[in-house]
Amino acid sequence: MLVIGVGNRFRHDDSVGCEVAQAIQEFAIAGVDVREESGEGASLMEAWKGAGFVIIVDAAASDSPPGTIHELDAHARSIPTDFFHYSSHAFGVAEAIELARALQQLPPRLLVFGIEGRDFSAGVGLSPEVKRSATEVVERITRRVSSALPAA
């Protein structure tokens, strides 16, 4: 299993994916690899290559209230390309997923957690509602990891 936290640690709520990835990494769960990525699509596709179950966490900007958690199964539906539009890359998370789908290179299981951000300006630290949602996403991921990995 691979958890990928996407974001920029120097743009407030855009760092939420990195914060979640760091929290998951601290659990040191056997069988779970954790990576942080900037969100550039080609790097994401390379990062998940060969992984059977991938979870991506990124900040979302879909006009939902800040802190809203969007959980998307990439095999169940396409990912809206404007969902993660705060990426500084024209080829970001949604585009990488849709290209991989077209090329039949999606991981067998791919979940995306988007946490609606409030503040994407330069600086560090998460908005309070985003921080609360990040904690909830960490809990959701650890529950999924526990149910998906074989017992030791």
Measured in degrees and rounded to the nearest 5, phi and psi for residue 32 equal: -120, 120
Looking at residue 77, what is its pLDDT? 86
Looking at residue 56, what is its pLDDT? 97
CA–CA separation, 47 and 35 (whole Å): 8
Looking at residue 79, what is its pLDDT? 81
> Half-sphere exposure of 57 toward its Cβ, with a 13 Å CA cutoff?
31
Q: Which residues pair with 112 in a beta bridge?
A: 56, 72
Looking at residue 150, what is its pLDDT? 63
Looking at residue 85, what is its pLDDT? 56
Looking at residue 78, what is its pLDDT? 84
Q: Identify residue 95 by its one-letter amino acid code.
A: E
The pTM of the full predicted model, rounded to 2 decimals, is 0.91
Give the domain ranges of the chain: 2-148
Superfamily of domain 2-148 in the CATH hierarchy: HybD-like (3.40.50.1450)
10-residue averages of pLDDT along the chain (152 residues): 95 96 93 92 92 96 93 89 61 89 94 96 97 98 80 53
Count of all residues that appear for the chain in the document: 152
SS (H, E, C) the chain: CEEEEECCCCEHHHHHHHHHHHHHHHHCCCCCEEEEECCCHHHHHHHCCCCCEEEEEEEECCCCCCCCEEEEECCCCCCCCCCCCCCCCCCCHHHHHHHHHHCCCCCCEEEEEEEECCCCCCECCCCHHHHHHHHHHHHHHHHHHHHHCCCC
CA–CA separation, 112 and 55 (whole Å): 6
Looking at residue 149, what is its pLDDT? 64
Looking at residue 87, what is its pLDDT? 52
